[in-house]
Amino acid sequence: MALKHKNAKRIEGLDVNVWVEFTKVAADPSIVNLGQGLPDISPPSYVKEELAKAATVDRLNQYTRGFGHPLLVKALSQVYEKVCGRKIDPYTDILVTVGGYGSLFSAIQGLIEEGDEVIIIEPFFDCYEPMVKMAGGKPVFIPLRYKTVVGNSTSSADWVLDPIELASKFNSRTKAIILNTPHNPIGKVFTKEELQVIADLCIKHDTLCLSDEVYEWLVYKGNKHIKIATLPGMWERTITIGSAGKTYSVTGWKLGWSIGPQHLIKHLQVVQQNTLYTCPTPLQEALAQALWIDFKRMDDPDCYFYSLSQELEGKRNRMAQLLQEVGLKPVIPDGGYFMIVDVSALNVDLSDMEANQHYDYKFVKWMIKSKKLSAIPLTAFCGPETKKQFEKYIRFCFIKQDSTLAAAEVILKNWNKPTS
């Protein structure tokens, strides 16, 4: 008997997910996994110690305030008041969620109406498009375009938005733009001038900005992360998203937060109270204590907010040099912990792979099988019109132990040797 119970229309066509597919393919422990943004470096010892302490306190093993553990929202307000140079009310301007995903979901569900247009910058973190569609919104894509430069490497700064093209995407139906800086997967850190172009258009068209800034502390020398919410006229129309997983290398904690004006945050709170309700209390307590430690030393270079990027800069440089030595042209990121690279120069014969998939999907599947090295195909971060533009690129993650990077180095240096 055929069942009448089919999927809801709002999830139609959203069943394919790059993480489900490639996490499964790369699960073999013999594979060197530079795919998923999964740190295998150790989080700071004090962060783990605070979690252990929290678990021994009976009251911290019960529900806490639904919109954010009191100690945590107070710590977040102190950190971001210092960063933003403005008063942030811990109870009305902050929502603690299940990771950056939860923040995005609450914002999109709470603010996007059926038929609203949402501008998404390509490449984009893959959940943006399906979340907009689930809310009944219409994704409107605009790609970062590469400015041609001479040499064997390029910078993420060479990928830019065309201001005229961007302006053409705004109209009376535009409800929001999703900004991601530092950017995943390219690693671009938007400059103040670039942010001002976006801000001017948001103000002109009365458009919201959902600013995904989970890599905010991972910015390398010569670059500065600027929050678009700090630009004139933008606080009142911006939701800024942060992440404990990216800040402290504890992705398994799945804690994130949304910061913005009360008149917007209250709608996200309604979504939270009717879906997830609250986040784990011991994790929130531990995160709060860690934030207090680093808040007190924000003027000290030893603050983890800054020391992690210093550590990762060496790993970034190592990854770039390795790719260049094997004849590839990596895009050197100014922020984040991913690096994209054009692999077409390797001239891999993929004729025996599935014909109906994009080049990067076939290449990564071939590489996992033949070379025991995992990455993520870049077309997973693109809308239908620009997949061809990006299909020769794959994304590597370099927030890895030196031993993991060394294993990848062996594979790449022996690329042309036959495998047994």
Query: pTM value?
Result: 0.94
The answer to whether 383 and 120 have CB atoms below 8 angstroms apart is yes
pLDDT above 90 for 349? no
Write down the pLDDT at residue 6. Answer: 85
Q: What angle do CA 322, 328, 332 make, to 5 degrees?
A: 70
Write down the pLDDT at residue 29. Answer: 84
User: Residue 374 pairs with which residues in a beta bridge?
Assistant: 33
Q: What angle do CA 4, 9, 10 make, to 5 degrees?
A: 140
pLDDT above 70 for 191? yes
d(CA 125, CA 144): 13
Write the DSSP symbol of residue 335: B
134: CB partners within 8 A, 6+ apart = 10, 11, 14, 108, 109
**pLDDT tens track for 199-246:** 999 999 999 999 999 999 999 999 999 999 999 999 999 999 999 999
CB-hemisphere CA count at 13 Å for 185?
28
Write down the pLDDT at residue 416. Answer: 72
Write down the pLDDT at residue 419. Answer: 58
- Full strand arrangement of the beta sheet holding 154-155: 154-155, 329-332, 338-342, 393-397, 376-377
Write down the pLDDT at residue 153. Answer: 63
Q: Return the minimum-mean-pLDDT range out of 262-276, 281-295, 300-314, 350-364.
A: 350-364
Stated as kind and residue range, the H or E segment containing 266 is helix 262-273
Write down the pLDDT at residue 216. Answer: 98
Write down the pLDDT at residue 152. Answer: 59
Mean pLDDT of the chain: 93
**pLDDT tens track for 364-414:** 999 998 899 999 999 999 988 899 889 999 999 999 999 999 999 999 998
Structure tokens at 266: 């209250």
Stated as kind and residue range, the H or E segment containing 295 is helix 281-295
Write down the pLDDT at residue 312. Answer: 96
Write down the pLDDT at residue 125. Answer: 92
- In the chain, the percentage of residues whose pLDDT exceeds 70 is 97
Sole residue written with tokens 């995903």: 101
Structure tokens at 111: 């603010």
CB-hemisphere CA count at 13 Å for 417?
7
